[in-house]
Structure 1
Amino acid sequence: MANWEELPQDLLKLIAQRLAIEDFVAFGAVCTSWLSAATKETYDAKSKAPWLVTIVCQQMPEICSLSRGRTYPMDSWGTEVMTLSPPGWLLAIRTREGRSYMAKEYRIFNPLSRASIKPPNLEKLRDSRVRPPMILQRFSFSSLISERIEMSSPKIERMALSSSPSLSRSYAVMISLYRECRSLWLAFYRLGEDAWREVSPATHPPLSSMHPPLTDVVQLIYYDGLFVALDTENQVTTLNESESRMELRLVLEPKFEGYPYLVECSGSLLVAWDTAGTEGNRFRVFHVDLEKGTQEEVKSLGKASLFLNYNASFSMDFDAASCLAGFKPNHIYFSHYVEKKIYSMDSGKVETYSDAIGYSHAGQWFRPNF
């Protein structure tokens, strides 16, 4: 019998490039020679079908391959995960019970390489633009001694990466945060720094207001060298890192009742509005030009399709070289509560994506990458 370890490396790399992600991982586990061919340099994300990451309360997340109809457990450090941009990375979340409060701990995690990164401590953040954390008095009737309890600590609402931490030594991270009874605010740090830097909003509320409202960030991505945010006032802003503040680029019009998603597609920045009308979910897609401060409606995605998530969305191009069975070009894949839906840009119709995993848990589209 031939010695499989002695196959030429060039041949092994060609084979590895054409494998589905599940087979790619198994390929590297065969032997040392095959593992050396199944590296991040060999990995071809364009030929790999996306997964769904599902979460069941207080259980470890699962990775669902809809094309295979199989689920795989994910050892993600935390029991909650959130997709990140660029693809391949997740924010893993673990709840820690303190003496008098519940706190969140976070890791930036890659399930493919199993790399894990701990971001700076959130507790060091101090936001002077909003009220201090809620304090509750708890009384012990036996001793009549009151104890101050901090009922909330900062929590990450959304996160974006400037580049893959495994491929860059100068990546930056931006987050939006919240506390109970407080509006969201922004912060970021760059690799090598030991603390978050708070970011000033693009527009400041009037000083006459005792507790001025702040616009909530609904989308946060990294695009074309810039962190880009979209808020509840339809303002598209970008980070001026040197001054730690957001700069207004444009205000989207019209304002729909549904939910907007920011996503990069074929080198362009798009906003996809889920209008959630009475006739079902109908999407309106616009191309956003940050330099000109303009927007233009897009009627077709061409050979691309969008995969939309609450935190981080992505697009995929479909061509003859792609191995993406079960997925179609010029469509929008999204979740509606626990159902997976598809919107056709051609017909305007919404269909339910076949639930190959056998149950209906809320899922996030995930594109594995290094």
Structure 2
Amino acid sequence: MANWEELPQELLKLIAQRLAIEDFVAFGAACSSWLSAAAKETYDAKSKPPWLVTYVYKQTPGAPWLTADVSNHITEFCSPSRGRTYPLKSLGTQAKTLSPPGWMLVSNWSSEYLRIFNPLSRISIELPTLEKLFSESFFSLDPVIQRMVRPRIKRMALSSSPSSSGSYAVMIALDWDIGLPWLAFYRSGDDAWREVSPATHPPWTEVLQLIYYDGLFVALDAENHITTLNESESRMESRLVLEQKFEGRPYLVECSGSLLVAWETTGAKGNRFRVFDVDLEKGTKEEVKSLGKASLFLNDNSSFSMDFDAASCLAGFKPNHIYFTDYTNEEEEKKIYSMDCGKVETYSDVIGHSHAGQWFRPNF
């Protein structure tokens, strides 16, 4: 056909739906007809290969340690299925992935300013500062002490993509340098963050995981309590307590519509995983022996799952596996755990390179 613009829209949409993100963007830039077929709303990130993201901070010669020099902070995205790296100068000195995947929380070292940012669309949204929250919190400290210690944002979750929704909410878990963990909440249109009260007394311990699932912000703390946010009352509500206390790391992740706790255990046999399907309504859990045609990609901040189906474009990845970071060695290593046989392998991309960083699912 001489005129590629005249290809039927149905055919163009079928082609676009099967493209990885790099090809999807290039496809839409070809002409107006192809752009219509490659609408952002039709892109299914769950069936496309993930990236890896690393944050490189370059110290300015002669500058004080941890100087917040925004111009020297580089975020690098690696496409393992292509063996390509895409550098991006960040909008802050710290950038961490959010849920839903595709977005990042960007801040400076002292968390004096916060933004949510999408590296694909380049949409950047400024959030209120945390100063009002610090001054009015039940953890309110003497101003002199506040200048000496700063809170660190340890976990974060986003309710929906601001690109597709006019209303969204952000939740963060903070931890003061002197050891006071707490949660805060912000909804678009508000003028400040709201403090969230704990579900238990004494107040909670460190929040290990925080995600948005099925219309709820869900937290897992160091005492194995799973709690959810009651937004109207700005407090957490207890759902269940996980009785198992494995040596290792737990991860909260949504997979095929279910909420899973993937627990990395350590021992003489090395890294192993126990996976549980959690029912928040019943307050129960059930062990999962297979992920079916899905795989998990686990991070401290934002874990996610990928679906292997007829429309998937996941070259170099396997179903029914868990992709995670092994922290037991001096250098962090990307590993793969097979749910079929329990075998652990070192992950490498299509050209044989291994990578540090966090798994990232690019999306609009």
Change (3 A) 1:193 1:251: same
Task: Give me the whole-angstrom Cα distance separating, in 1, the residues matched to 2:340 and 2:96.
Answer: 30
Change (3 A) 1:359 1:46: closer
Residue matched to 1:107: 115
Change (3 A) 1:345 1:355: same
- What is the CA distance between 1:42 and its match in structure 2? 2.9
- Structure 1 runs of 4+ off > 6 angstroms? none
Counterpart check, 1:191 vs 2:188 = yes
Change (3 A) 1:157 1:291: same
Answer whether contact 2:98 2:105 (CA < 8 A) is retained. Answer: yes
Residue matched to 2:132: 124
Residue matched to 2:363: 369
The aligned amino acid for 1:290 is: L
Query: Hey, which of these two has a bigger chunk of helix by percent?
Result: 2
* Deviates most, 351-360 or 108-117: 351-360
Task: Give me the whole-angstrom Cα distance separating, in 2, the residues matched to 1:195 and 1:291.
Answer: 31
Residue matched to 1:165: 162
Task: Give me the whole-angstrom Cα distance separating, in 1, the residues matched to 2:94 and 2:353.
Answer: 18
Counterpart check, 1:87 vs 2:101 = yes
- What is the CA distance between 1:44 and its match in structure 2? 2.6
Counterpart check, 1:203 vs 2:200 = yes
Task: Give me the whole-angstrom Cα distance separating, in 2, the residues matched to 1:330 and 1:12.
Answer: 31
Question: 1:257-305: CA deviations, max 9, x gaps?
Answer: 2110000111111101111223211111111111111111111111111
The aligned amino acid for 1:130 is: F
- The structure with the larger Rg is 1
- What is the CA distance between 1:154 and its match in structure 2? 3.3
Residue matched to 2:293: 303
Change (3 A) 1:342 1:198: same
Residue matched to 2:61: none
Match of 1:277 among 259, 267, 277: 267
The aligned amino acid for 1:222 is: Y
The percent identity for this pair of structures is 76
| SS of aligned partner of 2:269 | coil
Match of 1:317 among 304, 307, 328: 307
The aligned amino acid for 1:341 is: K
CA RMSD of aligned residues (A): 2.3
* Deviates most, 271-280 or 351-360: 351-360
Change (3 A) 1:73 1:184: same
Change (3 A) 1:285 1:132: same
Counterpart check, 1:232 vs 2:222 = yes
Q: How does 1:202-351 map to 2 (within 5 A)?
A: 202-205=199-202, 214-337=204-327, 338-351=332-345
Counterpart check, 1:352 vs 2:338 = no
Residue matched to 1:29: 29
Answer whether contact 1:130 1:182 (CA < 8 A) is retained. Answer: no
- What is the CA distance between 1:32 and its match in structure 2? 4.5
Change (3 A) 1:93 1:4: farther
- What is the CA distance between 1:43 and its match in structure 2? 1.8
Residue matched to 2:63: none
Residue segments in structure 1 that go unaligned for 5+ positions in a row: 96-101, 137-148, 206-212
Answer whether contact 1:17 1:42 (CA < 8 A) is retained. Answer: yes
Residue segments in structure 2 that go unaligned for 5+ positions in a row: 59-72
- What is the CA distance between 1:75 and its match in structure 2? 3.9
- TM-score for both structures, normalised by structure 2: 0.87
- What is the CA distance between 1:183 and its match in structure 2? 1.7
| SS of aligned partner of 1:41 | helix
- TM-score for both structures, normalised by structure 1: 0.86
Task: Give me the whole-angstrom Cα distance separating, in 1, the residues matched to 2:351 and 2:122.
Answer: 24
| SS of aligned partner of 1:74 | strand
